[in-house]
Amino acid sequence: MKIICIGRNYAAHAEELNHLIRGGAEYPAERSRQAGGGAETLPERNRPGCGEYSPEPIWFLKPDTALLRNNDPFYIPAFSHEVHYECELVVRIDRVGKSIAERFAHRYYKEVGLGIDFTARDLQRQAAAEGLPWERSKAFDRSAAISPEFVSLQELDGDVQKLHFTLEVNGQTRQTGDTRQMLFTVDRIIAAVSRYMTLRMGDLIYTGTPAGVGPVSPGDNLRAVLEGRELLNFDIR
């Protein structure tokens, strides 16, 4: 089973991430709130294939040991002093496929869940400065929280590109996701990834995080909701 994570798939988060990696602390809250509008509000430069964004999805892998299941608590690792949450829609692959055409990609998944890509931001910042890979900051054990429940797309009106999700930290909404805002659709992602590697049943695709990422501290509670359904609710220790 593979965990495939898509990076920079929401324009506002791409801008936010540039700020964080350059050495900033949290992205200004008012800018994150402004990023919550519908897809039609995105400026032209933020659309796929435009200017500063990659013409193809950016992705990386986490090992299966990264999974954090069953709403178990997340323990902040001793090697990082700045771990951030990144809430994402997760697609579970249910057929084997290679070099899947985008027009057929919808046949390879039926259910979605929510996940959190925990990132050791201080290690990521260091790796970026040194031109090194990001695995230490992204692929550590239990860094990929996954919802115990996946929801059939049929129960969600069938369109993976018309879904809303939120992440609350200690009861306050920190991230609001609208899959219409994705720079690369789920089907485009599946087509791009399967060009290079075979997708198998049970593989998980974390489809990217919206703006609003931030640090976690011991005692925090994280709650994630997809279309009114609570899928994640766990504590930080």
Q: Are 207 and 5 in contact (CB under 8 A)?
A: no
Taking the C-alpha atoms of residue 59 and residue 192, their distance in angstroms, rounded to an integer, is 10
Q: What is the pLDDT of residue 172?
A: 98
Q: What is the pLDDT of residue 186?
A: 98
Which domains are present in the chain? 3-235 (3.90.850.10)
Taking the C-alpha atoms of residue 226 and residue 237, their distance in angstroms, rounded to an integer, is 24
pLDDT-flagged residues of the chain (< 70): 23-53
Taking the C-alpha atoms of residue 74 and residue 130, their distance in angstroms, rounded to an integer, is 28
Coil/strand/helix, residue 117: strand
Q: pTM for this one?
A: 0.89
pLDDT in tens, 170-219: 999 999 999 999 999 999 999 999 999 999 999 999 999 999 999 999 99
Angle at 87 between CA 232 and CA 12, to 5 degrees: 155
Q: How far is CA 39 from CA 35, 163, 187, 216, in A?
A: 10, 12, 17, 28
